[in-house]
Structure 1
């Protein structure tokens, strides 16, 4: 059993890294700083900043030197004005969260089999580690694709036809990638690392079952 526990050190580290990756992924879904729109002053509105996320947009208007107005608007699945990249990123991050949590659950079961240490469960543990690793790699890939979609939209300076009630232009004078994108990159890297650590599990030598040759 000691060798079996020793052989799962990478998977224990992968569990810790994967837990942080799931937290960062969920945080990146809730934050709005995916795209930063710098708004110029117009006759109808003051200068400000629009933070565009995958679930909502928050608008910061500088009404005076000492006061700043903040307005946030949530998206809905039926909103037709949302571009394809935001819809895809939202679904990809949701899928990544679900896959990451499923992988984490399977990893817990696999570690339990290892620490129990019975011979007949080592193959089961190895299969669970492999499945958990595949799920985490898939989750990391989903996050990476969402980051690339956001980056390409900013690089191409694409606009969004928000409703008139949002008081936002179709396209700002300048836009940039927000800090949440960096958090998502970190979540993707940690999720992929956790998945790879989970996949590279080998049954300890003392736990391997060898055939018994009977003497004639």
Structure 2
């Protein structure tokens, strides 16, 4: 049975979807709105809103009715207060971005060979490698999304540095736009990875030996 996505147009569409998923996933890595904390005024901490990201946290304090100050703190490897749902996604998202980049590179190489109808074996292998890399990137991104989504649903707290003046848990915690962006980017990477992984060489690339008459 010939795989239904062997045409050049279909594989170019797969490449476009992969690129969109990789861009969305990479963009979410730099966003800070993974978890939104709403903090009320207490005797220990001033009121405000905190955007808890994977690589930094930004705090917005309402000083007066018309004045809001913003302070961002970038995490370092020396920060031992980072919970598992932040420290692990840091590695997952970076790895996913690298895998997605090389997955697109192998996909471009395969599309080049496919459009020129050459190097049948190299084309097949490149599509397979591209599919594996894209699926792995999608799984890493999905794991980061699920870990942070679970942290919001279960109202998990973070012991931030005392200088940040943030409570262990906020009064209200909700899912940020970065989780949504990353979640949307996961789907095309997983789907296109499956398309590339099960690519089969089209009939024109097959060579049939001729039988000479005796």
Question: Which residue of 2 is the match for residue 208 of structure 1?
Answer: 206
CA contact (8 A) 1:46 1:63 kept: no
Matched residue SS, 1:162: coil
Question: Which residue of 2 is the match for residue 156 of structure 1?
Answer: 154
Q: Show CA shifts across 1:12-63 (max 9, x none).
A: 1111111111211111111111111110112354321110000000001111
- Distance in 2 (alpha carbons) for counterparts of 1:158 and 1:131: 38
Offset at residue 214 of structure 1 (A)? 2.7
- Distance in 2 (alpha carbons) for counterparts of 1:84 and 1:200: 35
Of 167, 175, 178, which aligns to 2:176? 178
- Distance in 2 (alpha carbons) for counterparts of 1:25 and 1:86: 16
Aligned length: 210
Structure 2: runs of 5 or more not aligned: 1-5
- Distance in 1 (alpha carbons) for counterparts of 2:176 and 2:64: 25
The correspondence of residues 16-55 of structure 1 with structure 2, limited to 5 A, is 16-55=16-55
CA contact (8 A) 1:7 1:202 kept: no
Of 167, 179, 197, which aligns to 2:195? 197
- Distance in 1 (alpha carbons) for counterparts of 2:10 and 2:115: 14
> How does the TM-score come out when normalised to structure 2?
0.93
Q: CA-atom RMSD, angstroms?
A: 1.6
- Distance in 2 (alpha carbons) for counterparts of 1:109 and 1:144: 27
Offset at residue 177 of structure 1 (A)? 1.1
- Distance in 1 (alpha carbons) for counterparts of 2:40 and 2:159: 17
> How does the TM-score come out when normalised to structure 1?
0.92
